[in-house]
Amino acid sequence: MEFKKKKIGSRGKKILIVVLVVALVLGGGYWAWMTFGEGSSDNTASQKDTENEDEAKDNESADESSNSSNQSPSIEPDKNVQTDRPATGETLNVWITSKDIINGTLRIRVQIDQNISGGTCTLAIGSYTTSVPVAFEPQSASCQGFDVLTSAYSGNSFTITVQDGNKSGSVKGDLP
């Protein structure tokens, strides 16, 4: 008895390859979703446990620091960025992240410790004053940036005030 080999045409081979590739991609995607995504109940439960533990540790350390001193915790600016004097605001901590003069233009960048949705940042140098809106960021906010021609002002120091409704804060610095 002799077996005949049935030949698959080139079109049939292409269809078979496409079907196998699609099946592998779908299977791999489903596996990844079940392992790492929303489908993994073990993963989401462990994430919630970890988040709760972290929150509890943060609360404990905050309680310990408030018991040991009467000072309120402040947000520290990035150590790699130039900053000026600490904030003097009532409810908003404000600090300078950079200040430079580039091609005759003073550039000052300011960070705000809270996530505020509106507000105004005002720069005052002597009698010169200008304002820019607050830029929303996920964890904090910043002023949209001050770019002022050096010929527009005279003075050696400046004050930046941030106002958002009843919240305000300010910072002072020396010009570069």
Q: Is the pLDDT of residue 8 over 80?
A: no
In whole angstroms, give the CA distance from residue 117 to residue 42. Answer: 36
24-33, 98-107, 127-136: least confidently modelled range: 24-33
For the chain, what percent of residues have pLDDT higher than 90? 32
Q: Taking Cα atoms as reference points, which of 117, 113, 162 lies closest to residue 135?
A: 117
In whole angstroms, give the CA distance from residue 137 to residue 126. Answer: 30
Q: Residue 114 has which token pair?
A: 């809270």
CA distances to 14, 15, 34, 64, 110 from 22, in Å? 12, 11, 18, 56, 51
The more confident residue out of 30 and 74 is 30
The more confident residue out of 89 and 129 is 129
Write the DSSP assignment of 81-142 as a string of letters: S---SPP--SS--EEEEEEEEETTEEEEEEEESS--SS-EEEEEETTEEEEEEEEE-SS-EE
Q: Is the pLDDT of residue 86 over 80?
A: no
Mean pLDDT confidence for 95-102: 93
CA distances to 15, 122, 148, 158, 171 from 119, in Å? 60, 10, 20, 19, 16
Name the 3-class secondary structure at 8: coil
Q: Is the pLDDT of residue 82 over 70?
A: no
